[in-house]
Amino acid sequence: MKDSRLTQYLPYLVVGLLALFPLVESTFYMQLLTKVLILAIFAMSLDLLVGYTGLVSFGHAAYFGLAGYALALMAPKYETVSLWWSLPASIGVCALFALITGTLVLRTRGIYFIMVTLAFAQMLFFIFHDTKLGGGSDGIYIYAKPLMKLGEIEVANLEKLEHFYWLVLILTGATYLLLHRILGSTFGRALLGIKVNEHRMRALGFPVFKYQLASFTLSGALAGLAGYMAAVQYGFVNPEILSWHQSGAVLMMVILGGMGTLYGSVIGAFAFVLLQEVLSNQAWFGIAAKHWQLAMGIFIMLVALYMPQGLAGLAQKFRRKPAEEAADE
């Protein structure tokens, strides 16, 4: 009982502590934490597909990057745009693109699905890389952060690090609650049913394709939310943000944290960024830090081989042990 009460309040405690983080007054760590939270939204959006619908997408960066480009192309140069319309518009573009690609990729399964999602993401990469539409391989700068004004009152000034940080924190919490709510609904249960046994769901009368398409579109839209925030944070977009390395990284976060557990995606984003920072720290690893991807690659392979349930899986193993023993007696 004690245990369940702890897990019940733990998320609020964590969010509370994170909300107080700007008191630390470290620009570096606040930017890093903002980045982690944005990636947590991104990872949660992918977990909806991989962990709850059973669809392994290897092209999720497409929706992340597309939102950034949507913002950059909508923002007039040197002028500020309002967040109130540019955010929904960017998310809408991603949802629409996910809806269109979803109707195509969902005609395939398994290995095909993985390849086709990757190929469509790559198509988008080449559109922005090869044409002048998005500034080619150099990308586009977003000179001013979007405005958050209600009438004359400024709700938040995103040029200020802590304001942007708080906004991202709120959005991360909101994404978690939204997905948590959806996954507990009849819709969410049906998605899980499709993941476990798609054929049986169809025989029971579920229009499986529609459910998958809804999940795919929602997932793309939430990836767009993360991508918009990432573009605001960095102040520029270039084709790299929708490259397949980005898709691989976010898949790694989902699995490292533990797929099929939303909080696992948040933990995974933290762990992945932390690891990246540590491995590429020149003060610690000197010249080897330049080749940090080697260590990262080996780590990813080890996780795939020996930790398929991720950190959340490890935690559950340790927590369940005493309870299971008690139940057996």
Partner 1 sequence: MDFAFFLIQLLNGLQYGLLLFLVASGLTLVFGIMGIINLAHGSFYMVGAYLAWSLSSMTGSLTVAILLAIPLTVILGMGLERLLFRHLYQRDHLYQVLLTYGLILVFEELRSLIWGDDVHGVAVPALLNASIPLTENLSYPVYRLAISGVCLLLAAGLYFLIQKTRLGMMIRAGASNRDMVQSLGIDIKLIYTLVFALGIALAAFAGMINAPLSSVFPNMGGQVLIICFVVVVIGGIGSVKGAMAASLIIGLAETFGQVLVPEVAGMIVYVLMAIVLVWRPEGLFGRS
Partner 2 sequence: MSEPILRTKALTKRFGGLVAVSDVSLDLFVGEVHVVIGPNGAGKSTLTNLLSGDLPPTSGEVIFEGRDIAGCTSDHISRLGIGRSYQKTNIFLPFTVFENCRLAAQSRTPHALSVFQQAGGYAEINRLAEEAMAAAGLTHRAGRIAATLSHGEQRQLEIAMCLATQPRLLLLDEPLAGMGPHESQRMVELIKGLTADHAIMLIEHDMDAVFALAHRLTVMVNGEVLESGTPEAVRSSPAVQLAYLGGEELLYD
Interface residue list for partner 2 (CB under 8 A): 181-182, 184-190, 193, 196-197, 199-208, 210-211, 214
Sign of the CA dihedral with 283 first, then 284, 287, and 293 last: negative
* Token pair 């720290």 in the structure block, residue: 281
* Closest distance to partner 1 from the beta carbon of 84 (Å): 34
Q: Which of partner 1, partner 2, none does 184 bind, CB closer than 5 to 8 A by kind?
A: partner 2
Q: Which of partner 1, partner 2, none does 299 bind, CB closer than 5 to 8 A by kind?
A: partner 1
CB 139 within 8 A of CB 9: no
**125-153 burial code (b ≥16 CB/10 A, e <16):** beebbeeeebbeeebbbbebbbbbeeeee
Burial class (CB in 10 A: 0-12, 13-18, 19+), 207: exposed
* Closest distance to partner 2 from the beta carbon of 85 (Å): 24
Position 304 contacts partner 1 (CB under 8 A): yes
By beta-carbon proximity to partner 2, the closer residue of 73 and 182 is 182
CB 227 within 8 A of CB 67: yes
**CA 247 – CA 268 distance, rounded (Å):** 14
Q: Maximum distance among all alpha carbons in the chain?
A: 70
**CA 72 – CA 81 distance, rounded (Å):** 10
By beta-carbon proximity to partner 2, the closer residue of 211 and 272 is 211
* Closest distance to partner 2 from the beta carbon of 188 (Å): 7
Q: Which of partner 1, partner 2, none does 52 bind, CB closer than 5 to 8 A by kind?
A: none
Find the binder of partner 1 among 299, 309, 315, 316 (CB under 8 A). Answer: 299
Per CB under 8 A, contacts with partner 1 among 238-257 are 244, 248, 251-252, 255
* Closest distance to partner 2 from the beta carbon of 49 (Å): 16
Stretch touching partner 1 by CB under 8 A, among 74-82, 116-124, 198-206, 207-215: 116-124
The three-point CA angle 230-312-254 to 5° equals 35
By beta-carbon proximity to partner 2, the closer residue of 178 and 314 is 178
Radius of gyration (Cα) for the chain, nearest Å?
Answer: 20
CB atoms within 10 A of CB 48: 26
* Token pair 């950059």 in the structure block, residue: 72
Residue 52 is encoded by which pair of tokens? 């709850």
Position 305 contacts partner 1 (CB under 8 A): yes
Per-residue binding string, partner 1, 85-114, x by CB under 8 A, is: -------------------xx-xx-xxx-x
Find the binder of partner 1 among 294, 314, 317, 323 (CB under 8 A). Answer: 294
Residues that bind partner 1 (CB under 8 A): 50, 56, 58, 104-105, 107-108, 110-112, 114-116, 118-120, 122-123, 126-127, 129-131, 244, 248, 251-252, 255, 259, 291, 293-294, 296-301, 303-305, 308
